[in-house]
Structure 1
Amino acid sequence: MHTINCRGSLVDLSTPRVMGIVNVTPDSFYDGGKLKNDSDVLQQVEKMLHDGATFIDIGGYSSRPDGTDISASVEQQRVIPIIELVKRNFPDSMISCDSFRESVIKTALQHNIDIVNDISAGQLDRKMMETVGKHKVPYIMMHMRGTPQTMKTLTDYDDLIIDINRYFAERIAMARSHGIHDIIIDPGYGFAKTTAQNFELFSHQELLLSHGVPLLAGVSRKSMIYKTLGTDAAVALNGTTALHMACLLNGASILRVHDVKEAMETMKLYQALQGK
C-alpha cells in the first residue's frame, strides 16, 4: 500500500486518485489561453474538486514539443498568484506545482503547495531535489530526455523499457539521497518518445512498478491518442477515457487529466471490475 504525506495529510493511493490540470499558459497543447482571469480559474478548480479530483496541478510553462521557452521570472509571475488564489478560496485543496525550475518551486513551497511535479526529475535544475528534500513534500518525477524544445530529436533508445527503468532507478536513488521520502514516477508519455514508443511503453507500464513507488499516468488528450485516431486534442476525450482504463489496469495510482468527471467515472468502473 502506498501512502503519501501532503503536509500532514496522508493520502492513500491504494485507491487510485485523479489530478486535475490547471494550465496558466497561453500555449499549452490543449487548453492554452482558456483561463483568462481569476474567475475562470476558480470556476475550473471548483468543478474539478466537485467532480472528485484529489489534487490540482498548476503549471505556467508549456512543456509541449517545441513549446516557447520562457524565463523563470515569467513562469513565477504566472503560477504564484494562481496558487495563492486557489489556496485562499479552497484552503483544503491539495496543490501540485508543475515546474522543473528550483526557483519557481522554492517560491511555490513558501506559498504552501503540497506536491512538486518535475518533468525533468531534477535533471534540468540540480538544486531541485535538495529543496524538495528540505520541505519533505511528495515529488513526482517524470521520464524525459533533453528539454521540451529538443526532446523530439532524442528518441533513440537501446531498449526503451530497460533504459527507462534504469533512468528511474538512478533518479529515485538520487532523490532518496536528498531525503525525499514520497516519490511518484511518471513514464512521460509524449516526452522524447514517438507514438509507437508511447504505445510500447504503455503496454509494459506495469514493469515500472518494480521500483516500489506509485505511478502517475499522464495521457490526457495527448498526440499518441489523436494521431492514432486521425483527429485532434479537442475531440480526444473518448480515446483518453479508453486509455485511462488501461492505465489503471496496468497499475497507475494517479491519473493526471483535463477532464476530471470522466476520469472519475472510469475510476469507479475500474473499482467495480476489481470488486471494490
Structure 2
Amino acid sequence: MAIVNVTPDSFSDGGRHFSVDRAVGHALSCVAEGADILDIGGESTRPGATPVSAAEEQDRVLPVIERLARETDALISIDTYRARTAQLAIAAGAHIINDVHGLQREPEIAALASETGAGLCIMHTGRGRDRLADVVADQFDYLNRSLSIAAAANVARETIVLDPGFGFAKETVEENMALMARCDELLALGYPLLVGTSRKRFLGTLTGRDAGERDAATAATTVLLRMKGASVFRVHNVAINRDALAIADAMIAAEPKTGEEQVQ
C-alpha cells in the first residue's frame, strides 16, 4: 500500500505531491514499483497538524481518485475518518476506506462499507482517550469496540483488515517496539493486519535519521512485521519494501514445517 499524501504538511512528504498532477504522477510511479494499493489522503494525521474542513479534504482527494480510477487498475484507498468524504471517494472510484479512528469518530463509515462492499481498514488509536497500561490489551479493548460497530452495521468480515496504529499516541520507542514484538497476538482477533511504520518518529529516535532518510529502517520493520504475520504494508518507498518482503517471504517459505502444517 503506497502512501499518496495530497497535503502541504504531512510529516515526511508534505507539499511534495500537493497538486493533482503531482499526486497522480507519484501514485503511478508507486504502481510501477509494485504497489497493489494506493492510499490517498487529504489531511495530515501527524501530531499537531492543522485540521482541514471536509470540503477542503474532498477538494484535494477527489480529483486524484477520479484520475487514478481511469489510469490504473490498482486498488484505491481513501484515508479519511469522515463518512461523507468516504462516500464521495467511493463514488469517484475508491475501493477501500482507511479510517484512522477505527469507526469510533464517525460510525456511519461502517454502514457505508456495508452498503457498498468497500474494503475497510480499522485502525487503533490512543489519541484523545485514556489507555490501558498494557499495549496489546489496549489494542484488544479498542479494536473489539470497533469490530462491534462493524458487526452492528453488517460489514462483511472478509472486507475488514486491522491496523495497530504505530505512532498514534504510542509516543516512545519502547511502546512501539513492544507492540511490534507482540503484533502476532492481534491475529487472535481473526483478521489480516495492515501495518504502517513508514518513516515514523520512533524510527528516527532509534537511527538518528530525519524522516526522509528512514526507508532502510522502515524496510527492517517490514521484515520483522511480516515474520509476525502482517499482510499489508503502508509505505512511502514501495521498491525497497517490496525487496524486503521478497526476502521475508522466502525466509518464511524456507522455514521447517511442523507435522500439522505439512498435513495442511
Query: TM (normalized to structure 1)?
Result: 0.87
Supply the distance in 2 between the matched residues of 1:244 and 1:155 (Cα, whole angstroms).
29
Which residue number corresponds to residue 4 of structure 1? Answer: none
Whether 2:21 is the aligned partner of 1:39: answer yes
Please state how far the C-alpha of 1:262 moved relative to its aligned partner. 0.6
User: Is the 8 Å Cα contact of residues 155 and 194 (structure 1) preserved in structure 2?
Assistant: no
**Across the two proteins, how many residue pairs are aligned to each other?**
251
Of residues 235-244 and 207-216 in structure 1, the stretch that sits farther from structure 2 once superposed is 235-244
Deviations 1:5-34 (A, max 9, x none): xxxxxxxxxxxxxx0010000000001100
Q: Which residue of 1 aligns with 2:201?
A: 223
Map of 1:14 onto structure 2: none
Q: Is the 8 A contact 1:136 1:179 kept in 2?
A: no
Higher relative contact order (CA 8 A, sep 6+): 1
1:105 to 2:86 alignment: yes
Contact 2:24 2:64 in 1 (8 A): no
Provide the secondary structure at the position in 1 that maps to 2:234.
strand
Q: State the shift of 1:81 in Å.
A: 0.7
1:190 aligned onto 2:167: yes
Spell out the pairing of 1:198-237 with structure 2 (5 A cutoff).
198-237=176-215
How far apart, in 2, do the equivalents of 1:179 and 1:112 lie? 22
Structure-1 separation of matches of 2:65 and 2:214:
28
Choose which of 130, 145, 166 in structure 1 pairs with 2:111. Answer: 130
Report the Cα distance in structure 2 between the residues aligned to 1:57 and 1:39, rounded to whole angstroms.
16
Question: Compared with structure 1, are the counterparts of its residues 143 and 36 closer, same or farther at alpha carbon in structure 2 (3 Å cutoff)?
Answer: closer
Match of 1:166 in 2: 141
1:157 shift after superposition: 2.6
Q: What whole-Å deviation, never above 9, does each CA across 1:108-158 have from its counterpart, x for those lacking one?
A: 111121100000011111322111211111100100133xxxx5xx57533
What is the alpha-carbon distance in structure 1 between the residues aligned to residue 38 and residue 167 of structure 2?
Answer: 21
Structure 1 residue matching 2:212: 3-state secondary structure: helix
3-state secondary structure, aligned to 2:61: helix
**Cα distance in 2, alignment partners of residues 168 and 36 from structure 1:** 32
Query: Does the C-alpha gap of structure 1 residues 156 and 124 become closer, same or farther in structure 2, counting only changes over 3 Å?
Result: closer
Give yes or no for contact 1:142–1:188 (8 Å, CA) kept in 2: yes
**Is the contact made by 1:172 and 1:183 (CA closer than 8 Å) also made in structure 2?**
no
For residue 224 of structure 2, what is the aligned residue in structure 1? 246
Q: Please, which runs of 5 or more residues in structure 1 have no aligned partner?
A: 1-18
Amino acid at match of 1:197: E
* Residue 132 of structure 2 is aligned to residue 157 of structure 1: yes
Query: Which digits, 9 at most, give the CA deviation of each residue in 1:210-263, with x for residues without a partner?
Result: 011000010000001011222211111111111110010111100000000011
State, as a whole percentage, how many aligned pairs show the same letter. Answer: 33
Task: Measure, in 2, the Cα distance between the counterparts of 1:45 and 1:64.
Answer: 21
What is the CA-CA distance between 1:36 and the residue it aligns to? 4.2
**One-letter amino acid matched to 1:256:** R
| Equivalent AA in structure 1 for residue 144 of structure 2 | A
Unaligned stretches of 5+ in structure 2?
255-264
More helix by percentage: 2
What amino acid is aligned across from residue 159 of structure 1 in structure 2? D
User: How many angstroms apart in 1 are the aligned matches of 2:131 and 2:153?
Assistant: 30
Amino acid at match of 1:140: C
